[in-house]
Structure 1
Amino acid sequence: MKLAEALAERAEAARRVEQLRARVVSSARYQEGETPAEDAAELLAEADEVLATLETLIRRINRTNAAVDMGRHGTLTDALARRDVLRLRHSVVTSAADAAAGTGERGYGRQLRSELLTLPALPVAELRRQADLIAREVREIDVAIQRTNWEADLLD
């Protein structure tokens, strides 16, 4: 099984657990004289089976991520960490540029001459260039991660 297939199975198992959780909660209590819509104990048992499968998948995925070498990006785990931090950095830089540019404010100028002019404390154009470079790096590393996911075999 390829790593990408395991990731898809993991996502499906997580969705299934959440669905089962919601069904257990809605069937956990019922009124006297009524019959519950579903057997909560059966649903819990099914959730337990799915959770065991999910745990196995997560262990194997993590083991694979730590072992697969992506060359200049390090291991797949290293690349995932780098991508996550780059996404956060992009968010910070973009927010800073937006704030400095006055995005979201009522206007860029003054309504009356008596109002004080607000000035940017940061170089907006430079921040936008930085954000573009970070976004490109995120895309490049994401493509490398996706390629690796489809090429790497899942470890036991």
Structure 2
Amino acid sequence: MKLATALAERSDIQNRINTISVRLDNNAKVQEGDVPAEDPKALMEELDRLIVRLEDLVARINLTNSGTVYEGKTITELLAHRDCLKKKVRVLRDFLNTASDRVTRMTRTEIKIVSTVPVTEIQKTVDGLAKKLRNVDEKIQELNWTTELV
């Protein structure tokens, strides 16, 4: 099985577990004398099966990510790098949005508000980081589709 297939299955299992959680909550109590719409015991058995499969998949995905090396870095390191790039790009974009907001003055006597940073220069930096992020993400996706799961 390819790593990408395992990642898709993991996502599907996580969604199914979330659905079972809601279904369990919906069938936790009924009016005395009524029966629940679904059997909570059957739902818990399904949950147990899914949890066992999820645990196996997560362990194998993590082992694969930590054991697969590309250009001197493991997939785990590439994922950490991508996550940090995403965070930095998001923070800088939010900052630039605030820094580039125009404050309209009705009269010349009102206080003038100016940016504290060179917006254009920082925007070029953010654009470079965004390109780097896309490249790292593409490489991770490629590795996901070419790497066999441990």
Q: Could you tell me the TM-score, scaled by structure 1's length?
A: 0.93
Matched position secondary structure for 1:108: coil
Any gaps of 5 or more consecutive residues in structure 2?
A: none
Given that 1:96 and 1:127 are in contact with CA atoms closer than 8 Å, whether structure 2 keeps it comes out as no
Matched position secondary structure for 2:108: coil
Match of 2:66 in 1: 66
- Structure 1 segments, 4+ long, off by >4 Å, are none
Match of 2:145 in 1: 150
Match of 2:20 in 1: 20
Match of 1:86 in 2: 85
Q: How does 1:1-156 map to 2 (within 5 A)?
A: 1-72=1-72, 74-102=73-101, 107-155=102-150
CA drift at 1:109:
3.3
Q: C-alpha root-mean-square deviation of aligned residues, in Å? A: 1.0
Percent identity (aligned): 36
Higher RCO, 1 vs 2 (CA within 8 Å, ≥6 residues apart):
2
Q: Could you tell me the TM-score, scaled by structure 2's length?
A: 0.97
Distance in 2 between residues matched to 1:86 and 1:144, nearest whole Å: 14
Amino acid corresponding to residue 92 of structure 1 in structure 2: V
CA drift at 1:152:
0.4
Distance in 2 between residues matched to 1:96 and 1:26, nearest whole Å: 43
Distance in 2 between residues matched to 1:95 and 1:13, nearest whole Å: 34
Any gaps of 5 or more consecutive residues in structure 1?
A: none
Distance in 2 between residues matched to 1:150 and 1:115, nearest whole Å: 59
CA drift at 1:28:
1.0
CA drift at 1:100:
1.2
